[in-house]
Amino acid sequence: MSGTVSSLKPLPGNPATRPSLTEGLTATVAAKTSAVQQVLQDAAGEFADSGGVAFANSFGAEDMVLTDIIFRHRLLVAVFSLDTGRLPVETYALMGEVERHYGQKLEVYFPESPAVEQYVRSQGINAFYDSVELRKECCRIRKVEPLRRALAGRGAWVTGLRAAQSPTRSGLPVREFDAGNGLTKYNPLSDWSEEEVWAYIRLHAVPYNALHDQFYPSIGCAPCTRAIAVGEDIRAGRWWWEDPASKECGLHVKK
């Protein structure tokens, strides 16, 4: 594995990227890492003959923890990503770094170009700001439909969601049935804290998105993500013009 984009020299403004690595925190992260590894190994075994298990890596801090665990331990979990066409330049930089760091080419799914062209022609290039409906339609075209293709034929999928990330994710189970996509879904980081995520990244020198050091705790598409202010909720920078209760992109919404 080669060097990292920014994991060893965080900018001074972001306490999340430099937790104090106490003995207790290190031990907790080690125990939780073993638990995640076990969940993924068991899942890979259970679904080996029914499409296998795939992890959707969106290159946030949590997803980089899972990426590292999967590649480091050579787990039998496929890793794929969605490129909406509107990602921040920092995310593309990280994608390249992930390829170099782990010696793996990425499996990337793109939106169907006729659907994007039709949306832009009829609604406008930045129509997602105009209404929740148009925002959700953009997410459907650029994220939800490619995800459906990426998951087709798989037995289960894995996400980096954490229960503490937002009101819509409280009580998140490690394993659930994803009725929207019709397969089992694992959220192995469900009980991880933000501090534990960053401790793992520091302990294992995992590459991460440079935007995290610029007060972007949650990163999505460039036009729909902004930095947060001190004291704001960690998801406050996503679709910040909308009501918090509606702020999901459709990838993780229950039917």
* Residues annotated as part of the active site: 249
Using the rule CB under 6 A, is 60 a contact of ligand SF4? no
Residue 84 sits in the site that holds ligand SF4 (CB under 6 A) = yes
| 128 contacts ligand SF4 (rule: CB under 6 A) | yes
Give the binding-site size for ligand SF4 (rule: CB under 6 A): 13
Query: What gap in Å lies between CA 136 and CA 127, rounded to an integer?
Result: 10
Least gap, CB of 64 to ligand SF4 (angstroms): 19
Distance of closest approach, residue 215 Cβ to ligand SF4, in angstroms: 19
Nearest to 138 by CA among 225, 238, 236, 221: 221
User: CB-based contacts of 86: which residues, under 8 Å, 6+ apart?
Assistant: 142, 221, 222, 223, 224
Residue 125 tokens read as 């290039």
Q: Please, what is the minimum distance in Å from the beta carbon of residue 249 to ligand SF4?
A: 5
Q: Of all residues in this chain, which one has the CB nearest to ligand SF4 in the complex?
A: 221
- CB contact set of 220 (below 8 Å; sequence gap of 6+): 58, 238, 249
Considering only 22-30, 134-142, 199-207, 226-234, which stretch makes contact with ligand SF4 by CB under 6 A? 134-142
Distance CA 213, CA 229 (A): 13
Picking from 154, 148, 146, 151, the residue whose alpha carbon sits closest to that of residue 43 is 154
The single residue among 77, 138, 201, 206 that binds ligand SF4, judged by CB under 6 A, is 138
Q: Can you tell me which of 61, 82, 139, 197 binds ligand SF4, judged by CB under 6 A?
A: 139
Q: What whole-number distance in Å separates Cα of residue 50 and Cα of residue 222?
A: 36
Residues 195-254 that bind ligand SF4 (CB under 6 A): 220-221, 223-224, 249
Q: Is 160 in the site for ligand SF4 (CB under 6 A)?
A: no
How far is the C-alpha of 139 from the C-alpha of 128, rounded, in Å? 9
* Residue numbers at the binding site for ligand SF4 (CB under 6 A): 84, 86, 128, 135, 138-139, 142-143, 220-221, 223-224, 249
